[in-house]
Amino acid sequence: MEDFAYAFNNSAIGNVMGNGMSGCDQSTVESLAEDPTDSPFAADECLKVRKYWCFLLSSIFTFLAGLFIVLLWRAFAFICCRKEPDLGPNDPKQKEQKASRNKQEFEGTFMTEAKDWAGELISGQTTTGRILVVLVFILSIASLIIYFVDASSEEVERCQKWSNNITQQIDLAFNIFFMVYFFIRFIAASDKLWFMLEMYSFVDYFTIPPSFVSIYLDRTWIGLRFLRALRLMTVPDILQYLNVLKTSSSIRLAQLVSIFISVWLTAAGIIHLLENSGDPLDFDNAHRLSYWTCVYFLIVTMSTVGYGDVYCETVLGRTFLVFFLLVGLAVFASWIPEITELAAQRSKYGGTYSKDPRKRYTSSECVVPP
């Protein structure tokens, strides 16, 4: 098949050049020769070897490497920074001990200042912090929209030169910004180990490294980019920074709605990935579903209606759906009544006052006897 695709491309180029460039210009021939993946035969041949594992391994390796560095630093600090015994005034090693302590105090002061600066930058309590938090949210939504576009118009895995893939180039620019923001959050974290295990850290692990791998492999993989939908959970915090939400009931309502939508979109992305990929290791039972079809399927299934027009065919898709329904129905069944109750609430002094001209208002006067 590979020889046939190669022969097909060469014969196509030779026929065009031999016919005096009839119906095609020089740029078309050059693009066909430089990018053989434009040919459907070459693209099919390229996709015979799945390389999704390269993208997954890049994310897993990034997480494990970061975890190893944090643990190594903790072990080093425990061994080298233990309390040293106080030496006598005539001990020759006293000067070395004093110099070592001064150096540690200087390094500690520098790290404390850097930590305070990073903490103010991501806290949202300052003007710069609010701008940064809002910018991160906007770019996360923009990255999620790019995922929606790719998931609606492309295969799960596609062979294409990175230089010709506009959406991947834009997404890489976003991911570079997210990587810088990740390091700022890392500096501000009090417990580095706990930070490495946070939910938003895992979002970065599985979205940032694959964008760099696609440059090297000249192929794209939809992957776990739908995890950016989890950033919708920060909507209540952003609205509080902007003084939009002020009451406890409105904050709670925004939290429930944002969690519901983010989990819904994330679960739809998992179904889309599993169904369109097929079951490993052969991947021969792929079930073509668009992302928005998966969104519709999940909301219908979660509402216990189940029309039966859309269903999972892969083993992985069905397995995930079973566990998702066991947890989702139990959680969302208790959240929906609470959301309805909070949405129907009206504050004691809510609404606006309007004077009715048809009603007469009388005032009683107090008469003081002489």
- CATH class of the domain defined by 245-345: mainly alpha
Q: Where are the domains of the chain?
A: 2-48, 52-82+103-243, 245-345
User: Which residue's entry shows tokens 């909301």?
Assistant: 299
Among 22-31, 260-269, 323-332, the range scoring the smallest mean pLDDT is 22-31
pLDDT in tens, 63-113: 999 999 999 998 988 887 665 555 555 555 555 555 555 555 545 577 788
Task: Please indicate, yes or no, whether the overall pTM of this predicted structure exceeds 0.85.
Answer: no
Tally Cβ neighbours within 10 Å of residue 320.
Answer: 18
Residue partners of 167: CB distance under 8 A and separation at least 6: 146, 149, 150
What is the per-residue DSSP string for 290-355?
A: -HHHHHHHHHHHHTT---SSS---SHHHHHHHHHHHHHHHHHHHHHHHHHHHHHH---TT-S----
Instruction: Using DSSP, state whether 267 is helix, strand or coil.
Output: helix
Mean pLDDT of all residues in 165-189: 94
pLDDT in tens, 3-43: 444 444 454 444 434 444 344 344 444 444 445 445 555 55
- pLDDT at residue 369 above 80? no
